[in-house]
Amino acid sequence: MIPKPIPLRNEELFKLAMRHRSAAANPVADSYERLEFFGDSVLGLVIAQYLYEHHPTWDQGMLSKAKSSVVQEAPLAEVAKRLGLDEFIEVSASEEATGGRNRPSILADVLEAIIGSVYLESGLEVARWFVLEQLHPYLMRISGGDVSPNDYKSKLQEVAQSFWRQSPAYRVVRESGVAHEKRFHVQVIFENEPIGEGQGRSKKEAEQDAARDALGVIERFKRARAEAQPPFSQ
């Protein structure tokens, strides 16, 4: 049964959108990859048009940053999880054993495949309504001008310069997956020591994920140091 918030009636199309290549007899014809490719373009168009129409004073740079912050892996995976799509994803036994059903990259992919499916069945207007309805919280978050709420690299850069007067470095430590589902694994480095790790569908996403991890490490360190200090006494 197709989850109610999804305006899709074709059960076979829904099943195709949920099938990872690892569970497909024919990865081209029987997996979500082609639908995901198509849905990614529909998603980009809908968000770009929304931002263009609702923020007439934003220049190209602002529009580009805002779009990137909305259509990246993390928000899409959150929406897919909220819709309960993880319960319908079809993966191989080996993918299941490694947590593939809850992997952010796969969750983001199936949401894009659903968007492509909705467009194919009902056209652009229904697809537009679905995209804007599901991504509304993220669009509202950037409406105040914070066009890069998930720009952890910039936040880490500010913290690093403030406390240590130096910039972090990023290095790709591993690439995995087939060409269409390439995963980049990145470490963020301070003084030749890794303090954060991340992964993503692109180097940019992996670096953001690593920066987010590093910020968490720094915050935990600062909190532990503050708790360890004796209380002030007269």
Rounded-to-integer distance, Cα 122 and Cα 2, Å: 15
Residue 194 near residue 176, CB atoms below 8 Å:
no
Q: Taking the chain, what is the end-to-end CA distance rounded to the nearest angstrom?
A: 67
DSSP-derived 3-state class of residue 137: helix
12 is catalytic: no
Which is catalytic among the residues 33, 36, 40, 209? 40
Burial class (CB in 10 A: 0-12, 13-18, 19+), 18: buried
To the query of whether residue 40 is one of the catalytic residues in this protein, the response is yes
Find the helix packing angle between 73-82 and 104-122, rounded to 10°: 70
Write down the catalytic residue from 33, 36, 78, 112: 112
User: What residues are labeled active site?
Assistant: 40, 112
